[in-house]
Amino acid sequence: MDLIRVNELLVTVLLHSGSRWPPKGSKPTAQPIHVSLAIPHDISSTAESDDLSKSINYSTLASTLRSSLSPNSNQEPAFESLEQVLLRSFDLLLLHGSNLPRAYLKIVQLKPPLHCKALAIEGEATRGTGLSWNLTTLQHRIEDLECQTIIGVNPAERLERQLIRINVSIAAPNPTLVSTSEDSLNFRALTRRLYQKVEETSYLTLEALTSFIALETLRHLSIDSPPDFDPKVTVRAAKPYALVFANSSEVEISRRSRDYPNQLSSPTKQPVDQPALTGIHSAAIALGSNIGDSFQNIEVALRLLEVPLEVITDRDIIPGDASLSVVDTSFLYESTPMYVTDQPSFINCACMIETNIIPTSLLVLLKKIEEIVGRQPSFRNGPRAIDLDIILYDQLVIDTRPINDRQTLDNLKGHLVVPHPRMAEREFVLRPLFDMIPNYVHPSLHKKIDTLLKELLFISSDPPMDRVIPFPRYPLPPTNPSSPSSPVSPGIDPVPPTLTHWKYPSPASKKATTPSKKLTQSKTRIMATLNATPDSFSDGSVHNTIPTALGYVREAARAMVDVMDVGGYSTRPGAAFVSVEEEIGRVVPVVRAMRSLGEDEDGEVGEGHGASGEEEELRARVRSMPISIDTFRPEVAEKAILAGANCINDVYAFTGPGSFPYPPAPHPPHPLPPGNSGDVDKDGQAPAAEYMREMKRIARKLGVPVVLMHSRGDAGMNKDYSEYDYVNGARNGWGLAGSGSAVLEGVRVELGRKVEEIVKGKGGVRRWYVIVDPGIGFSKTVEDNLTLLRCGGEVTDDVLIGVGTNRKRNPLAGYPQLVGTSRKSFLGAILQKERGKSTEGKDRTWATTAAVACAVQQGTLVVRAHDTDEMKDVVAVADALWR
Ligand SMILES: *[C@@H]1O[C@H](CO)[C@@H](O)[C@H](O)[C@H]1NC(C)=O
Ligand SMILES: *[C@@H]1O[C@H](CO)[C@@H](O)[C@H](O)[C@H]1NC(C)=O
Ligand SMILES: *[C@@H]1O[C@H](CO)[C@@H](O)[C@H](O)[C@H]1NC(C)=O
Ligand SMILES: *[C@@H]1O[C@H](CO)[C@@H](O)[C@H](O)[C@H]1NC(C)=O
Ligand SMILES: *[C@@H]1O[C@H](CO)[C@@H](O)[C@H](O)[C@H]1NC(C)=O
């Protein structure tokens, strides 16, 4: 259909609403408006005859509109809103004069409320039967709303506010209803809200800001509107100063309420005093400690959390059916107090819980646990044995303070405010939350944890927080209720004190910090290996008696290795079967001998028995050297730890041998190799699940670090990673395997599956205890062995893995790594190929040197090595180069 238009007809109308400044009295004010109209009309006959009488007399239309809308000497008509002007104009067009079937109208208010250039309303109507017409579309528009805000990723853009121009248009879902109702959009309130909210933001991207504006608009529209009201909001936002050679950069989006299920669904927008809650809820708790044995304090607090009925006996607060499970934990962080230097550093973490305890009772529980663990009342931010805070509780916004006291944060004591009001300014809260729930949307700030952390790090000048792994001290000290170092607590297993802890940089700070700006140099740790097996492949039964074992350990202690790995059952292909009893009989005596080195029969330290000071220092170093037990069997792990080991190193990552693929099919397709018969569950249940349950239980109960290696059962098994070839840069020969190579993805997926099962859910191992090992040399080809070494850091990068709908965050993101290359056969294969040299394990020290240097460069936390003194030299230089 042809169209006849009149554009921007200037009319003055009397309006009650919408003057630039809020009106003083109730009198309407005169406002200039532009009326534009378009009328579909077949012009062919006019075109042929060139006779205007056959067309629409737009001069008549225009003057009718002007005279009917403009006020007469009695100050009439006066309109309540732009909507009324529009409806009146349709009346004039469709009901009087020419017999028009349809019309389109746009009314623009030229001197609108502050901050925007124009407000407009736009609609289309169809003539009905008799004296009626129907509105078919209706849009409200805010044009060129100008705000100043911090936006952009450029460092300079973070310093000054810049101009943003925004257009918002709102399509009414049900225009026919509008024509009959008295409702009108309160443009002034909406523009003011958007202006204020946008000025408070500091997004990195225009995309995020645009989405935020759409959300705020929808939120405004939802006030007082019926539940099924579903408008569509289109937002265009431009950054006029972003580009030098273009007028502006711009983003346009359209959104409805359903696009913000988390932010708009919750009916409780106002803080509630005490929501009525039933069922299981999820909450985030932050834990911090900086006096006493912080690690022990945190572990005790976490265990007390899970026995609420023992901690609080008042059943009005904690009812008899109360339950609470810790279902996820963050990494552990250490922050050095910046100005108060005589204070020890703070240890922080967070956990996710699932509970049916209501928020106020949960707060009582936390306060009681603080008391039990030994909180001394102290000055704010001063020393704390343990500090527990509810950070988040579902999507709830809770404030138990009287409404008039909510303006300040100085009166929080004794009250519950959730989400925690200071969380967005605290790295030691945001980082732990990011480890567990990066995509949680803060219910009142409407930003993801990920976004809040990025924004904070952007403006923060504090040194990055370090992560820590504590090693508990075993054997447990004899229980002495009066000793302050062993908090006696109701209903929980004893928690060991801390032997030592390792500090390493958080992954984000690793990249952000240039070497010259680093405060502390991070240090690669060395794990020495002691094979208490007669058939060990690399040292062939040299250390299988206690005196020779101790001789080796003393050498390692002299070289200052960080941890001694003791194993009693070789995982070498074809190694002989060893029973559980035999394995315990090999490793436990070695652990005992190390822990009691230099002590006489009475348990007295052998001073005054002729040991020189230097010798005694060496023995003391052996007695307190962390020991890791290299086993896949829960019984062996438990016995060795209770005898004095401090860490579990499991090449099958808690799933036992013969567990590929994992999770296993309910009935193993093939009978297990006869040698493994001791490991088969009698009920025919998949043994992998059995291993998982038991290893997890022991690791959780004893609270020790665990090294979880990627393997596919026996070392010689399946080396095919082609199912992961979907990633870019798939394997491409020796030199070119790069980022995204299939084997890297395979390790992320296969080991990630196990790590998630170990860390998450009720009874999970604390995330800070997990060290992952990509398993170089286990079910890998030469290229894969080299790729895992060359690009090892990528195994734990924070990237998306999987394809299609299975894409998700790398489950290994952020975990520290242990890399073992020492004397392995892929080094032998290279020496054979390049030099025609046939080598035994002990001839590969120099070759190992190159591999260890590479692992250090890739950011590995621990390297596992045989030639400890040599590797100490390598690591010292490599650390100086790269760490
Ligand atoms: C249009 O209408 C005006 C006033 O009603 C009249 O003066 C004018 O002659 C009309 N024009 C035509 C071409 O009919
Ligand atoms: C106008 O709307 C009414 C009510 O929805 C409907 O009954 C009528 O048929 C419509 N008229 C036209 C011309 O679309
Ligand atoms: C907003 O709308 C006006 C009028 O249609 C247009 O001139 C302007 O460029 C638009 N601005 C943006 C940021 O889209
Ligand atoms: C750039 O945008 C501004 C504001 O929208 C406009 O007034 C100006 O004419 C534009 N300049 C060019 C070169 O397009
Ligand atoms: C990869 O390394 C392991 C351990 O050294 C070895 O058993 C395997 O044979 C290597 N792959 C090749 C093809 O050399």
Question: Residues of the chain whose pLDDT is less than 70?
Answer: 18, 22-26, 96-98, 176-183, 224, 226-227, 262, 264-277, 337-343, 375-384, 479-490, 508-521, 534-544, 573, 600-611, 659, 664-686, 714-717, 727-740
For residue 805, the model assigns a pLDDT of: 75
Q: What's the CATH superfamily of 279-510?
A: 7,8-Dihydro-6-hydroxymethylpterin-pyrophosphokinase HPPK (3.30.70.560)
357 neighbors 316 (Cβ within 8 angstroms) = no
Residue nearest to atom 3 of ligand 2 (CA): 134
For residue 613, the model assigns a pLDDT of: 84
Q: Indicate the top mutation candidate among 57, 63, 98 to test ligand 1's pocket, ranked by most ligand atoms within 8 A of CB.
A: 57
Residue nearest to atom 14 of ligand 1 (CA): 53
For residue 739, the model assigns a pLDDT of: 45
DSSP 272-314: BSS----S-EEEEEEEEE-SS-HHHHHHHHHHHHT-HHHH---
For residue 535, the model assigns a pLDDT of: 53
Q: How far is the CA of 165 from the centre of ligand 3 (A)?
A: 8
Residue nearest to atom 12 of ligand 2 (CA): 128
Q: How far is the CA of 242 from the centre of ligand 4 (A)?
A: 14
For residue 626, the model assigns a pLDDT of: 97
Residue 436 burial (10 A CB sphere; 0-12, 13-18, 19+): buried
Q: How far is the CA of 65 from the centre of ligand 1 (A)?
A: 15
The pTM of this model reads 0.67
Ligand 5 cavity residues, CB under 6 Å? 715, 777, 780-782, 785, 824-826, 829
For the chain, give every domain's residue range.
1-111, 145-251, 279-510, 523-639, 825-883
Which atom in ligand 5 lies closest to the alpha carbon of residue 573? 7
Residue 773: what residue type?
D
Helices 687-702 & 634-642, crossing angle to 10 degrees?
20
Helices 294-305 & 359-373, crossing angle to 10 degrees?
140
For residue 749, the model assigns a pLDDT of: 93
Q: Indicate the top mutation candidate among 7, 34, 144 to test ligand 3's pocket, ranked by most ligand atoms within 8 A of CB.
A: 144
User: Which ligand is nearest the CA of 57, by number?
Assistant: 1
Q: Could you give phi then psi for residue 479, rounded to 5 degrees? A: -65, 125
Q: Indicate the top mutation candidate among 131, 132, 134, 137 to test ligand 2's pocket, ranked by most ligand atoms within 8 A of CB.
A: 134
Q: How far is the CA of 531 from the centre of ligand 5 (A)?
A: 20
Q: What tokens were used for 618?
A: 């060496």
Q: How far is the CA of 251 from the centre of ligand 3 (A)?
A: 12
215 sits in which H/E element: helix 206-222
Fold classified for 145-251: GTP Cyclohydrolase I, domain 2 (3.30.1130)
Q: How far is the CA of 86 from the centre of ligand 2 (A)?
A: 19
Arch. (CATH architecture) of 1-111: 2-Layer Sandwich (3.30)
69 sits in which H/E element: helix 58-69
Q: What's the CATH superfamily of 523-639?
A: Dihydropteroate synthase-like (3.20.20.20)
788 sits in which H/E element: helix 782-790
Residue nearest to atom 8 of ligand 2 (CA): 128
Other C-beta atoms closer than 10 Å to the C-beta of 310 total: 13
Do 279-510 and 523-639 show the same overall fold?
no
Of 368, 292, 386, 377, whose CA–CA distance to 324 is shortest?
368
Ligand 2 cavity residues, CB under 6 Å? 126, 128, 134, 176
For residue 178, the model assigns a pLDDT of: 60
